[in-house]
Structure 1
């Protein structure tokens, strides 16, 4: 078996940003990467159609003078997260590209854990755990952990040890660059545009890579962790159900692109096992008045919280399924992938560090 080993200087970290509303988060995100030991080869910050933000990030980089090279680029593709990621992939000159959200910070050793995950050539991607950083440091009592994907974070049902998965959470993932370019880049018909909560472009990407190669392994390492900030506007029932509905629509679009068998493989297990277990344990807690087994009811501080979480799980599932049904019945059409989504590459850095 070809080793396919990756070292820290084989990794470019891409951070995409679009707004000054996350300025402090973005600065923290960049800092968390440039202070990694071992460090990545470079950081590429892609700004999505906001020239003022480009200038401010360039000034921040110049002012802080990090030891890791940081390039600030304009999104040269369609507006949105997928277009920005494609711009970053085009600019990267390394074997692996990693993606960190602009409101997430990487834990110490993040790059090292990532590199170590590429054990052989079958491993085409390595992703990790996204830990929610709640407003005020406390999860809302009504918010069930099973739906932490609503705020872009890890949730019960994901592996608790390193193992293969279908796809990663976009806030914390890495892929081999040649695989991304081979499938034409992230699909710009999917993915968040501004504050519109559509997504699943990383799901479609991971599935597409696996469909084009036999024996592909996408490895999830819970120790490769990031802290993902949750803003006040994302802990409201309105956002929760809006995001659930959008996820259903997005899953319908992905299923139309890659087939329902792959597009819903993980969701079937989640719906058939994870959600029923979450409901039953909370109902048991309400009846018995005792702590919930497995610790899945994080944030519940009373029987009322447990009951509300159980009801929210049911309602969230129903709304997500409704979004999926609406997407399938309405076609949930996205533009055909034309293989030219990666813009022409930026000049590569002139000097490369040796592996650590």
Structure 2
């Protein structure tokens, strides 16, 4: 018998967000904690009442009454902000939000978790049944469509909801990794004091659906939601519709809610009051429904009359530190690359020297004098150049000293660049614009490496999913390192993570990225922001053993290997955050990583695990994971003749390389991928050549091998490879398969049947396994067993 969730380790955190309703909160928690098993779920309260004394009294009373209760008091108001605080603090795989005036029934947590367990990775959001508990009783006129804001009852069974159905925020649960991947809740939406906006759950759920995950409802997770007397009126229904109309405009326009001034909020509230005062008596349900539509329209009109627009962006303050020690030989190039950065920002540049004995500080002071006198121009709106020299305890101590010399605000942009490295042109301007996007706190560029002579050696477009960074897998062995040159973040994230850990001397950046990944998603730009210089005697090569030892001390390599293998086993569920578009038109995009970024993944089935990545494939020979792969592309780039031609005519070489790439290398790569899929499908035994030829006579006439025709054309045209696999149905049923571009049959063989996905409408994987326990014990693909053996043995699929 399977173990119940209440007997297992806690997988769910229940977050109760509250605003100045301490009595109601107390009753909710008494009921919630009284029902729960100690190991069933954790309880977290986020109090954003902005009433310190009352909140502290409530915290002491409730934490003393309920063991294990965590009570957090915030310094900002806003429902979406409170929910994001809960998301940040959550330590379990799933997070449920419960209103402070809702009372859960027994089995509520198990009902939510059961859907996540049964539906596997397809379930991104699960909502429960919401039954209203009317204060003073339900009025007779409140019926039909008018009940939509108060209750959600779609029956007892589990249902996958379409985009036209909504869940209620009174009881809703999320896959934590997925909610973090989409950036949590949009803080421009949701209630904030007198600004009665909504649609924050709709926005989050829509972004989750865009990643190919589904929203589910279960009637077995039931809550009683108290409906206060003031909400049981015709006036409240109309007022609610008015603010829904305003919220729709904010949601569609992507407006920052901070754009609303106090007078504008009063204008909206006054307009709503005027409409209510002029409203005729609503004596019937039909008239009330008509009034709801009218008030929603008037809410949109009232928003339009304000002429709101996104506020002008403030001038960004950028703080960059360069740690240095005896680097007079190559420091000029680093300083020049920083001062030449152009853009609408103010640059604060500090060089922290560790007590050099060469001419380093003489050079630095000359640069400082030239900047202050105007002898050296800079590309920013303003520039301050400072320096200091004193013995330190290593590079990270110097970097911290440099940042401590600044007086920064939370929105300040931060970075450090080592003295032998450089920033790419316009790197700071691109990073500043990306960091100005909502939900972006940390960005990096593509990897870019040069040698001591300044010649390009290697670059990479490898993705860095935040989940891999957080797991410590970006260690140069399982996955490539994040190139520190070209990483930018804001002061807010730096404070959350606690800054650099001075107990590290070599792996401090790797450890800092891991802590950053706990609080924010790493966002990648489609270009290089910095360049790393490979030279003899640098710390990254001479102290490689010490570097590995520090990582081993924090997180053993065997554990990093295990985490990486688990995460990359299904890369279509491993998300990367990227900025798309050019400067001035940037936007944030979230998508699964390309499975082909993981060598060994294609054709290996679910039992194969990647041992190395592209960037780490030759790290033993190089010693630091930066040696370029031997490929035609790199041979072309490194060819001396091509290099001489490049010096004479860079544009000609660029056109030549682009032509080679798109006319030769890309077609060869695509052909190789198709051959790998061909071999993998041959081994599965789920492609029936005779069946395919019988139902597609044109394939026989063409003379093309049936399996290759299916891979190239048949799958896209909806042709079936066997009697019980419907490509078109599979794509529509599971949109994430379409997003990744993986062949549907190939996806089903590698992952689909193990995740409980069905091959067509007439065959249920879970049902067949339940009817035939011997098939489950055998561990093979149920569809293949039925087609090869089950039909002949008379086994039922009904």
TM-score exceeds 0.5: yes
2:336 pairs with 1:338: no
Q: Note if contact 1:186-1:205 (Cα within 8 Å) is conserved in structure 2.
A: yes
Aligned partners of 2:15 and 2:61: how far apart in 1?
17
Task: Note the 1:273-312 alignment, pairs <5 A.
Answer: 308-312=284-288
Q: Note if contact 1:98-1:175 (Cα within 8 Å) is conserved in structure 2.
A: yes
User: Residues 313 and 332 of structure 1: is their aligned pair in 2 closer, same or farther, counting only changes over 3 Å?
Assistant: farther
Find the counterpart in structure 2 of residue 130 from structure 1: 130
Q: Which of 204, 220, 231 matches 1:223?
A: 220
Choose 30-39 or 327-336, whichever is displaced more: 327-336
Aligned partners of 2:145 and 2:41: how far apart in 1?
35
The Cα offsets for residues 248-291 of structure 1, whole Å up to 9 and x where unpaired, read as 22123223449xxxxxxxxxxxxxxxxxxxxxxxxxxxxxxxxx
User: Residues 9 and 328 of structure 1: is their aligned pair in 2 closer, same or farther, counting only changes over 3 Å?
Assistant: farther
Aligned partners of 1:127 and 1:332: how far apart in 2?
34
Find the counterpart in structure 2 of residue 238 from structure 1: 235
Aligned partners of 2:151 and 2:9: how far apart in 1?
25
Query: How far off its partner does 1:223 sit?
Result: 2.5
Q: Note if contact 1:190-1:334 (Cα within 8 Å) is conserved in structure 2.
A: no
User: Residues 162 and 236 of structure 1: is their aligned pair in 2 closer, same or farther, counting only changes over 3 Å?
Assistant: same
2:164 pairs with 1:163: no
Aligned partners of 2:169 and 2:202: how far apart in 1?
8
Query: How far off its partner does 1:340 sit?
Result: 4.3
Query: How far off its partner does 1:87 sit?
Result: 0.9
Query: How far off its partner does 1:240 sit?
Result: 1.8
User: Residues 345 and 218 of structure 1: is their aligned pair in 2 closer, same or farther, counting only changes over 3 Å?
Assistant: farther
Equivalent residue of 1:121, what SS?
Answer: helix
Find the counterpart in structure 2 of residue 80 from structure 1: 78
2:15 pairs with 1:10: no
User: Residues 220 and 73 of structure 1: is their aligned pair in 2 closer, same or farther, counting only changes over 3 Å?
Assistant: same
Query: How far off its partner does 1:94 sit?
Result: 0.8
User: Residues 196 and 234 of structure 1: is their aligned pair in 2 closer, same or farther, counting only changes over 3 Å?
Assistant: farther
Aligned partners of 1:8 and 1:27: how far apart in 2?
26
User: Residues 329 and 207 of structure 1: is their aligned pair in 2 closer, same or farther, counting only changes over 3 Å?
Assistant: farther
Aligned length: 287
Aligned partners of 2:55 and 2:292: how far apart in 1?
38
Equivalent residue of 1:98, what SS?
Answer: strand
Q: Which of 83, 87, 94 matches 2:92?
A: 94
Query: How far off its partner does 1:31 sit?
Result: 2.2
Q: Which has the higher contact order (CA 8 A, sep 6+)?
A: 1
Query: How far off its partner does 1:326 sit?
Result: 4.6
TM-score (norm 1): 0.71
Query: How far off its partner does 1:307 sit?
Result: 5.8
Equivalent residue of 1:9, what SS?
Answer: coil
Aligned partners of 1:192 and 1:129: how far apart in 2?
23
Find the counterpart in structure 2 of residue 104 from structure 1: 102
The Cα offsets for residues 114-156 of structure 1, whole Å up to 9 and x where unpaired, read as 11010211101111122111111x1123333423344xx3257
Aligned partners of 1:241 and 1:252: how far apart in 2?
17
Find the counterpart in structure 2 of residue 59 from structure 1: 60
Point out the structure with max Rg over C-alpha. Answer: 2
Aligned partners of 1:107 and 1:114: how far apart in 2?
12
Aligned partners of 1:96 and 1:312: how far apart in 2?
39
Equivalent residue of 2:10, what SS?
Answer: helix
Choose 202-211 or 188-197, whichever is displaced more: 188-197
Aligned partners of 1:236 and 1:132: how far apart in 2?
15
Q: Note if contact 1:130-1:227 (Cα within 8 Å) is conserved in structure 2.
A: yes
Equivalent residue of 1:132, what SS?
Answer: strand
Aligned partners of 1:160 and 1:325: how far apart in 2?
40
Equivalent residue of 1:221, what SS?
Answer: strand
TM-score (norm 2): 0.33
Find the counterpart in structure 1 of residue 70 from structure 2: 71
The Cα offsets for residues 96-126 of structure 1, whole Å up to 9 and x where unpaired, read as 1100011111111111101101021110111
Find the counterpart in structure 2 of residue 273 from structure 1: none
Q: Note if contact 1:18-1:53 (Cα within 8 Å) is conserved in structure 2.
A: no
Q: Note if contact 2:14-2:42 (Cα within 8 Å) is conserved in structure 1.
A: yes
Q: Which of 297, 302, 323 matches 1:321?
A: 297
Gaps of 5+ in 2: 256-281, 312-436, 443-491, 499-514, 519-798
Query: How far off its partner does 1:204 sit?
Result: 0.5
Equivalent residue of 1:226, what SS?
Answer: strand
Equivalent residue of 1:25, what SS?
Answer: helix
Equivalent residue of 1:105, what SS?
Answer: strand
Q: Note if contact 2:63-2:70 (Cα within 8 Å) is conserved in structure 1.
A: no
Aligned partners of 2:440 and 2:90: how far apart in 1?
18
Aligned partners of 1:103 and 1:333: how far apart in 2?
35
Query: How far off its partner does 1:80 sit?
Result: 0.6
Q: Note if contact 2:124-2:175 (Cα within 8 Å) is conserved in structure 1.
A: yes
Aligned partners of 1:83 and 1:175: how far apart in 2?
16
Aligned partners of 2:231 and 2:78: how far apart in 1?
19
